[in-house]
Amino acid sequence: MSTERGDVRPPSGNADEKTTPVTFLAYLREAIAAKVQGVSDEAARFAGVPSGTSLLRLLKHLIAVEHNWFVWAYHGDGSLMDDNAFPAGTDTAASLLTEYRETIRRCDRIIATCHDLDRPGARPLRETEPPSMRWLLVHMIGETARHAGHADILREQIDGSTGR
Residue 71: burial class (beta carbons within 10 Å; 0-12, 13-18, 19+)? buried
Mind listing the pLDDT tens digit for each residue in 64-114?
A: 999 999 999 999 999 999 999 999 999 999 999 999 999 999 999 999 999
Residue 73 contacts residue 130 (beta carbons within 8 Å) = yes
Residue 49: burial class (beta carbons within 10 Å; 0-12, 13-18, 19+)? exposed
Residues 6+ apart with CB under 8 A from 127: none
* 164 has pLDDT over 50: yes
pLDDT for 161 equals 87
Percent of the chain's residues with pLDDT above 90: 86
DSSP 45-86: H---STT---HHHHHHHHHHHHIIIIIIIIS--S----TTPP
161: closest CA among 55, 57, 7? 55
List the chain domain ranges. 19-159
60-25-148 Cα angle (round to 5):
50
pLDDT band at 7 (very low <50, low <70, confident <90, very high): low
Mind listing the pLDDT tens digit for each residue in 14-66?
A: 778 999 999 999 999 999 999 999 999 999 999 989 999 999 999 999 999 99
- For the chain, the average pLDDT equals 92
Helix (H) or strand (E) holding 107: helix 93-113
Percent of the chain's residues with pLDDT above 70: 91
* 6 has pLDDT over 60: no
pLDDT average, residue stretch 2-11: 54
* 152 has pLDDT over 50: yes
| CATH code that applies to domain 19-159 | 1.20.120.450
